[in-house]
Amino acid sequence: MRLSVLLLFAVAAALAVAQDSQSKTDPKFVAPPDAAAKENPLAGNAEAAAGGKKLFLRSCAECHGENGTGIEDAANLQTPEVQKQSDGALFWKVTNGNVKKGMPPFARLPETQRWQIVSFLRALKPTKEALPSGGNPPSSPKRR
């Protein structure tokens, strides 16, 4: 009995570590350097981030969840892996999507609305599940 309980805990711990180490982001989904270098014209604008939240809830939350942590195979947008990307890279990803992985392009949205979504993504605060094992939030990406 004691051995089976110990085995159960070991399996549960292994699954938790495996799940935590599996990133849902696609390493091949990378913005071209010229796109990644684009500056967000709405950076630091609280109203833009608030508008971006509304757009995100309408267009993105179905897959990424209301707080951006991802549902099923959608990327967790709070992770350091995502948050360290430039605003231009996130804008490119929102615009072009990753159809092979199930993310549609949102080029149909006006450019300003796509930048608002990027501004909202910057406002996301990591939940405990999104933090690295040390428990500290990632530092903000440097903006020019």
User: What pLDDT is stored for residue 17 in this prediction?
Assistant: 34
* % of the chain at pLDDT higher than 70: 71
Q: Which CATH class name applies to 26-130?
A: mainly alpha
From the list 141, 137, 143, 142, the residue with the least C-alpha distance to 125 is 137
Q: In which band, very low, low, confident or very high, does the pLDDT at 1 lie, cut at 50, 70 and 90? A: low
Residue 9: pLDDT band by 50, 70, 90 thresholds?
very low
What pLDDT is recorded for position 125?
Answer: 77
Please indicate whether residue 4 or residue 30 has the higher confidence score (pLDDT). Answer: 30
**pLDDT tens digit sequence for 80-92:** 999 999 999 999 9
Query: 30 vs 140, which has greater pLDDT?
Result: 30
Domain boundaries along the sequence of the chain: 26-130
